[in-house]
Amino acid sequence: ANETDSGWQEVDFSSPVAIGANTTYVASYFAPNGGYAADAGYFTNGGADAAPLHALSTSDAGGNGVYAYNATSTFPNQSFDDTNYWVDVVFSTPPTVLVRTPAAGATGVSSTTTITVTFDRAMDPTTITTSTFVLKDASGNVVAATVTYDASTNTATLTPTAPLNLAATYNVYLFGGTSGSRIRDKYGNYLTS
């Protein structure tokens, strides 16, 4: 959809595909009308790296630069002249929190403070809610608050609806993992638990 006449084309899967370490994967596409980019000999003398991903050399892969000619989509299982057909993947790691205010263990915090967390990337704002970004008192009771997300700074803000007790201890929880209501980035990657 929305292809250009030249340059990179990108397509997203409906949901991300988890990959494992030290495992070889093949990314390919079906071009029923022909037309593909190719650099012969690309994998002859070595692989290619875009850490943490590594494309194997032909000698390491037993043939890299795989392709297949067929009238219908089929798994590419042939190799010719160590050719790179320029099919790459968009690789994502889980999002992380870069900055948090107040800092962990902070004391003397104002009773009307707001809590902010800045993520390392754009997040899915629909997943940053009062059930995934939570303030609790020392007894584990949820403190009533509102939660907002600023996409221009990748920052979520939790604002308690009443002043906090200056003599009390509070904990902030960001819910990650892959079950239930959890925080995700805009690509669907979940914040780690």
CB within 8 Å of 65: residues ≥ 6 apart = 42, 43, 58, 79, 80, 81, 82, 83, 84, 85
pLDDT (tens place) for every residue of the chain, 193 residues total: 677 777 777 777 777 787 888 898 888 888 888 778 889 999 999 988 877 788 888 889 888 888 898 999 999 999 889 999 888 887 778 899 999 999 999 999 999 999 999 999 999 999 999 999 999 999 999 999 999 999 999 999 999 999 999 999 999 999 998 778 899 998 788 998 7
Residue 88 amino acid letter: D
pTM of the predicted model, to two decimals?
0.63
